[in-house]
A and B are shown apart, each in its own frame.
Chain A
Amino acid sequence: MLDTIELVKPDLDEGKLDIEEFEYRSEVKPTWCPGCGDFGILNATFTAMKQKHLNPKDTVCVSGIGCSSRFPFFVNTYGFHTLHGRTMPVATGIKMANPDLTVLAFGGDGDGFAIGGGHFIHAARRNLNITYVIMDNSVYGLTKGQTSPTSRLGYVTKTSPAGSVDEPLNPLVLALACGATFVARGFSGRPKEVSELIIQGLEHKGFAFIDVFSPCPTFNKVNTFKYYKEEVTALPIDHDVTNKLKAIEQASSPKIVYTGVFYKAAESHSYEEHVLSQRPAVQTDANTLLGKLFAKYS
């Protein structure tokens, strides 16, 4: 019975969607544990989608592998549940083929920064027009609790029984260093802020990266809701989002864990824009082009 899809009811003549009537939430019940931080991010995403009037037929949610990467199944848009770590290449391919689609990417910190780390840096520097939300719980959940790239030093798991000796990665500083043009951080315990960040990400023309603390109640007893509630603080009101150096400084702050928009480039041209601008003004058809090539090789 769960296998039915709620169908879209757009007003075709207007070309617009009656958003009040559309249910972005799919019939699939999330596979997350009770109390998982990912619920907050899912709800925040629904709010953002609704507010931005995203037409579900023109929207694609891309994800990797992991607990959080089950995300697309819970949403009534198009979806692409990729391989472990391969969210960014797929999002790139979709955008290059059809730049009119709205592409959102979701995944965990392991998916994005460990196995997918090589792709993350290039997606960021290309400035693809997508919104990438990392649901960061500092642990591998689906495999039942191992150290992740954002786990703290000394963090004890089954793969780090004497405590992790790997310096944790700073996702924001990494994104900034790679040339991301929109960099933000949220906390799942504050879903309103998260939805606002996603809205800003969707509005940004370029690579919008949002790292969201998303506590894992089952396997991470350190980075809990309670912990983050005490730790995180909104960025100062006078933070200049166009100042990249300041953004790096605030993102690296050893004392305070800030949330909010750290950086938003004053001017951003997306990868697709650059690619489109390199096309000749007048394009040709295959037979004409092949005719010219045949002449060249004769």
Chain B
Amino acid sequence: MTTEIAAKQDLVIRIAGESGEGVISTGDFVTQAAARAGFEVITFKTYPAEIKGGHCLYQLRLGDKKLYSEGDELDILIAFNQEAYDRHYEELKQGGLLIYDGGAFEPSHDPEHLHYNVPLSEIARTKLKFELGKNVVAVGVVSALFGLPREFIVKLLTEKFTRKGEDVVKKNMQALDAGIEYVEQHITDRSQFQLHHSATNPDIIIVSGNQSLSMGVIAAGCRHIFGYPITPATDVLEFLIAEFPKLGGASVQAEDEIASIGMVMGASYAGHKAITSTSGPGLSLMVEWLGYGSMAEIPAMIVDVQRAGPSTGMPTKHEQGDLNLAVFGGAGEIQRLVMAPVSVEDCFWQMINAFNFSEKYQMPCIFLSDTTLANRTESIKKPDLSKVKLIERQTLESNGHQSSENFKRYELTESGISPMSLPGQRGGQYVSTGLEHSEYGRPRYDTKSHTSMTEKRFRKLALLAIDPDLPEAARMGDPEAEIGLITWGSTWGIVEEVVMLAAEKGIKVDAIAPKLVWPLPTNQLDQFMKSKRVIICPEVNYTGQFAELLKAHYLRPIVKVNTYSGAPFKGSQILAVVEREAQANA
């Protein structure tokens, strides 16, 4: 029943085929044009980890209202080859539409679905004499199916191909029209796929999570990235290495992840915000430095775009498996903050918050994104830059110290935060060290020093957990509901959808996802965690890492829901548990 309701509001289209066949470019093209035309769009794509060949898919969900996930069942499947058909056909919903390239394969007869042979290659090769135009023919087909106005694609094609000459533009226009024409002539029963859309919105941008967070890094005042290529974090490094010189920044592609984070520490010690972007295997290598950052109290930003592990795992697949490493990884007892954005838009804003709190509390921050968030593109509200508020670390000079005073880099303050001196500041000389130290930063191994310094460092963490400027947790649902859903990171999107699906079934659910996942923001979570009859925690890992952190703190049972296939949750997986728990009470 619910899927019927969903189908009227939105459309899920999956394009699949061999990598290099134009699957991704077709998807990107339709996404951008549709977003410009005023549709809400969320996409999901998977690439093979290999450079050539391999299967890839691009899923678009289009709608006229805000979308929360890339969708479960398919309304339309566009299969470029036999493998695409074999892999994805069973996800096509009843009455759904299969578009296939008859030149490549022939599907078996099936009365439950609509089948259309659209000879994309044939049209491009024979009719247009423009083999490269196959994906633009596909763009025409897709856009005609759901009613994307032609003018938006024309404008995009013009922008994209003008520099390649008029002839190229003309050929692409012909390819586009061939696709549209084919649909208009052959697919008469397409009214069920036509979508409404709002008026065009000039205040949206269409970006991936990695692009969104990279722009957040710029807005946060960071001008240095030190990194090592690793899927799926590489494009953050590429993006910022290209942009920073325009702002007077400087970056290095380091020899490995240990060097990357070491350079971040050096730059930050010198007083400049710096970042490294990596994924789980890289974070594993950085762990010793994370301990150093806690001990020497150096702000540092580490983006971990999580992928499926352990070890090399599945580089292009999704998992939220690094939370334990982010929170606890390291020798001894460490202080750090871990933040997790919940959407593409959130990547921008939480990156700014992440820098602010790392600077304010002088400790490393691990920013946990993930594969789906990194790669999916969304139409999001253009960030209002007047809302950007930056917090800078306290320094010797900002604190008005005079050079005639004895400067204590690690002064035992009430808050635990001690002003930092920066090279170049007179009278602030000290030695940063991973050894336990006195207030002056001199090595000390006595019981009093270690006790007082350990407490000082943990005072910062305790204050951070209840900082009044913390970003609000994502909330949705009925605050009075006795079933609570709590999650973190990109799983929030599907949780929002589950809250709506449950409401349609008459089940009241309350949902929350804190942006600061460590230390636990107790002021935001206490009431929720203490008042619900049932708390359900969905996360994309086997062990329920966030659920365990919550259990340890709140000493209450939590129902774990886990998926660990390399793909994000389907709403139905979580909804089933919500329904079960609702009935358990009845």
Mark A residues whose CB is within 8 Å of B. 2-5, 7-8, 10, 28, 56-62, 72-73, 76-83, 86, 88-98, 100-101, 118-119, 121-122, 126, 272, 275-276, 278-280, 283-287, 289-291, 293-294, 297-298
Residue on B with the closest CB to A296? B205
B259–A122 touching, CB < 8 Å: yes
User: How far is A256 from B334 in the complex, measured between Cα atoms in Å?
Assistant: 51
Q: Which residue of A lies closest to B288 (CB)?
A: A83
Question: What mask results when residues 34 to 45 of chain B are scored 1 for a CB within 8 Å of chain A, else 0?
Answer: 001000000000
Residues of the A chain whose Cβ atoms lie less than 8 Å from the Cβ of B292: 82-83
Q: Are the CB atoms of B272 and A97 closer together than 8 Å? A: yes
- What residues of B have a CB within 8 angstroms of the CB of A280 in the complex? 245-246
Using Cβ atoms and an 8 Å threshold, which residues of chain A touch B406?
A: 4-5, 7
- Give the CA-CA distance A58 to B271 in the complex, in Å: 13
- 21 A–B contact pairs at CB < 8 A? A4-B440, A57-B425, A81-B434, A83-B434, A86-B262, A86-B289, A88-B259, A92-B226, A93-B265, A93-B270, A97-B270, A97-B272, A118-B259, A122-B259, A278-B245, A285-B247, A290-B218, A290-B383, A293-B243, A297-B211, A298-B206
Chain B nearest CB from A7 CB (Å) reads: 5
The answer to whether A57 and B424 touch across the interface, beta carbons within 8 angstroms, is yes
Which B residues fall within an 8 A CB radius of A? 36, 202, 204-207, 211, 215, 218-219, 221, 224, 226, 243, 245-248, 250-252, 254-256, 258-272, 274, 288-289, 292, 382-383, 385, 403-404, 406-407, 423-435, 438-440, 442-443
Do B205 and A119 have beta carbons less than 8 Å apart? no
**Contacts A86-B258, A92-B263 hold; do A79 and B430 have CB atoms under 8 A apart?**
yes
A290 in contact with B219 given A56-B429, A279-B248, A297-B211 (CB within 8 Å): yes
Give the CA-CA distance A61 to B269 in the complex, in Å: 12
Q: 18 more A-B contacts (CB under 8 A) besides A5-B406, A58-B423, A93-B263?
A: A7-B427, A57-B429, A58-B424, A73-B431, A81-B431, A82-B292, A83-B288, A89-B258, A92-B252, A94-B267, A97-B274, A126-B252, A275-B250, A279-B248, A283-B248, A289-B246, A294-B382, A297-B207
* Contact pick for B262, options A93, A95, A283, CB 8 Å: A93
Complex interface: chain B residues within 8 A of A100 (CB):
424
Q: Which residue of chain A lies nearest to B405 when distances are taken between CB atoms in the complex?
A: A7
The interface residues of chain A lying within 8 Å CB-to-CB of B219 are 286, 290
Contact of B443 among A73, A96, A293 (CB under 8 A): A73
In the assembled complex, the Cα of A99 lies from the Cα of B31 at a distance in Å of 44
Min C-beta distance of A121 to chain B, whole Å: 8
| Cross-chain contact B432 with A297 (CB below 8 angstroms) | no
Which A residues are in CB contact (< 8 Å) with B271? 97-98
Docked CA distance A7–B405 (Å)? 9
Q: What's the least CB distance linking A68 to chain B, in Å?
A: 14
Q: Give the one of B207, B246, B271 with max A CB within 10 A.
A: B246
A297 to B265, CA, bound (A): 32
Contact residues in A for B383 (Cβ distance below 8 Å): 290, 294
Given A8-B403, A290-B219, A101:B263 Cβ within 8 A: no
